[in-house]
Amino acid sequence: MKRNLDLATTVVKQLSKKGKTVAVAESITGGGLGAAITDVAGSSEIFLGGAITYSDVSKTKLLEFPKRLITKHTAVSEEVAKAMAEGARNLFKADYAISTTGVAGPGKAYGKSAGTVWIAIASKKETIAVELSIAGDRATVRKSTIESALATFSRILGA
């Protein structure tokens, strides 16, 4: 967890320096990403909230995107990861939002292997998505997803 805290600290500092805010929409990480960010002192100034949308119904209802995206692409897809991030950004009126969706394992889901993960980051300007393939058990996949989401977001903020 130390690595996640270091990355989260960097993200909080970057956002604070820019005067920007962030929200999260989580599926595979089940609240772990928001927890990592809010573990950092001062995060209340930049973190607006999060939605743990573990079920497909909660994804479409809370984050307000068409159910057909999941029907057509599955919940573990670039399209749904982007819709989740955009939905969270709109829901919380944040400058940025990060979403996580994937298969933690041990088995397959949506026809995708364990360790298949999508992370998306939405801003007013654009939404980007990154696909990951993470080896390991359920806990490793979830921890690595949080770490990758924070690292990717930090790179975007530093650009």
- Is the CB of residue 123 less than 8 Å from the CB of residue 95? yes
For the chain, 159 residues long, give each residue's pLDDT as a single digit of tens.
Answer: 566 669 999 999 999 999 999 999 999 999 999 999 999 999 999 999 999 999 999 999 999 999 999 999 999 999 999 999 999 999 999 999 999 999 999 999 999 999 999 999 999 999 999 999 999 999 999 999 999 999 999 999 986
Residue 77's H or E segment, with its range, is none
Residue 37: alpha-carbon gap to chain centroid: 12
Task: Please report the pLDDT score of residue 92 as a whole number.
Answer: 98
CA distance 112 to 28: 13
Q: What CATH fold (topology level) applies to the domain 2-158? A: Maf protein (3.90.950)
pTM (global) more than 0.85: yes
CA distance 10 to 40: 9
Task: Please report the pLDDT score of residue 152 as a whole number.
Answer: 98
CA distances to 63, 107, 108, 121, 134 from 111, in Å:
24, 10, 6, 24, 16
- Beta partners for 130? 119
Task: Please report the pLDDT score of residue 3 as a whole number.
Answer: 65
Task: Please report the pLDDT score of residue 91 as a whole number.
Answer: 98
What is the chain's alpha carbon radius of gyration, rounded to the nearest angstrom?
Answer: 14
Closest CA to 76 of 37, 26, 112, 107: 112
The total of other beta-carbon atoms located within 10 Å of residue 93's CB is 10
